[in-house]
Structure 1
Amino acid sequence: MTASDFWDFSTSVYRRKDVADTCLALQDRYGLDVNLLLYCCWRGKILTGEEMAAAIALATPWRDEVVRPLRRLRRALKPGFPPMPEEDVQALRERIAAAELDSEKLQQQALDAASGRKSAPKPEAAEANLKTYLALERISADSRLEALLTVLRAGAFPEVETAPLAISAS
């Protein structure tokens, strides 16, 4: 497995039906890190609380200092920025979007390098890891969250039929 395996997995999952909107809802409504959500699905083994906490500790400063500011700036430019020329603002926004994507890829490379990952993604590991991530972030389960995570898991493992993800039933 190479560092690009995580990126390739993530972009493949993200392109599947409803996953992009699901990830954005998990990010915007619950404050979750999409790269960490995808990491939970990709990792291939059930992480201990300490291992998940280490991944969060690795990802959080980069997300907070680099990824989120780029995202905020990109979103701020979406409606334009009069009196600046619209096409120039949108060209700048596209460059910022590319930088945001590059920053997310770097975050994934760091997670991959720290993981020592050797096994293929597994649905049962993904479910356990998602539950651990939510617990460490102190995110309370609700039916909307469980539905969103079920869509994410289905996107990560389209070949596997699974029941809805139940976070509260641990």
Structure 2
Amino acid sequence: MDVAISIEDNVDVERVESSAVPENIFWDFSTALYIRKDVKDACECLRRKYQLNINIVMFCCWAAQKQYDIFSVDDMSFIANHINTWNHGIVEGLKNVYAKLASHSIGDETANLANGTLNDILLAEKIEQWLILQAVDQLGARQSITQDPTEIALKNIFNYINSQQVALHKTDLEKVYRIVKECFA
């Protein structure tokens, strides 16, 4: 069962922020960008239709904004593989637990358990972003101030999409452009 989890689901973001996970500005950037309606809708489409990892899509935008050089298809594949076990085993597992709790609600206790699971999902997503940054460190990424960050973000996202061997439908290409546009608005 596929469940969309967002910051708007009455999650205690303060609990996530005060966790033992190393702080990173990538998390702050992602949450601020994701809550924009057009971005959230576009991301959810890419996640549902193409199984793309939205944390990696957000990373592509963040890295461009921070003037990182373009990440190749191989780099993106490395990043995706680096977080694969965590994403499929932990993040998606927690989302499945949440979906089951939400569909079998028997009162306040299950609602409280579901809300706690939402907090855990956000914490798992935050850890996943930390793992992405860890993979980038392993790649030895460097910064480049010579290219337009909008172009870098688009190239990064398309390199990620290509690394996942996904072909976007023409109408969904617009969603990628919408995310990048909002990133630099």
Shorter-chain TM-score tier: 0.7 to 0.9
Whether 1:136 and 2:163 are equivalent positions in the alignment is: yes
Q: Normalising by structure 2, report the TM-score.
A: 0.75
Identity %: 24
Whether 1:76 and 2:100 are equivalent positions in the alignment is: yes
1:29 pairs with 42, 49, 55, which one?
A: 49
2:119 pairs with 98, 102, 117, which one?
A: 98
Distance 2:114 2:127 in 1: 20
The Cα offsets for residues 3-30 of structure 1, whole Å up to 9 and x where unpaired, read as: 5111111011112232122212211121
Distance 1:125 1:118 in 2: 13
Alpha carbons of structure 1 residues 33 and 151: separation in structure 2 relative to 1, 3 Å: same
Alpha carbons of structure 1 residues 66 and 91: separation in structure 2 relative to 1, 3 Å: same
Distance 1:141 1:66 in 2: 27
The Cα offsets for residues 72-126 of structure 1, whole Å up to 9 and x where unpaired, read as: 22122223x15xx322111111111110100010010111133246658921111
Residue in 2 that maps onto 1:64: 88
Deviation of the 1:155 alpha carbon:
2.2
Q: Which runs of 5+ in 1 are unaligned?
A: 159-170
Contact 2:74 2:163 in 1 (8 A): no
Matched AA of 2:100: A
In angstroms, what is the RMSD of aligned CA positions?
2.1
Whether 1:123 and 2:150 are equivalent positions in the alignment is: yes
Which secondary structure does the structure 2 equivalent of 1:18 belong to?
helix
Q: Normalising by structure 1, report the TM-score.
A: 0.82
Whether 1:43 and 2:63 are equivalent positions in the alignment is: yes
Aligned ranges for residues 149-164 of structure 1 at < 5 Å?
149-158=176-185
Contact 2:79 2:132 in 1 (8 A): yes
Distance 2:99 2:39 in 1: 20
Distance 1:86 1:156 in 2: 40
Q: Which runs of 5+ in 2 are unaligned?
A: 1-21
Distance 1:36 1:112 in 2: 10
Contact 1:17 1:155 in 2 (8 A): no
Matched AA of 2:47: Q
Comparing 142-151 and 58-67, the one that deviates more: 142-151
Comparing 28-37 and 14-23, the one that deviates more: 14-23
Contact 2:154 2:177 in 1 (8 A): no
Which secondary structure does the structure 2 equivalent of 1:138 belong to?
coil
Alpha carbons of structure 1 residues 126 and 118: separation in structure 2 relative to 1, 3 Å: same
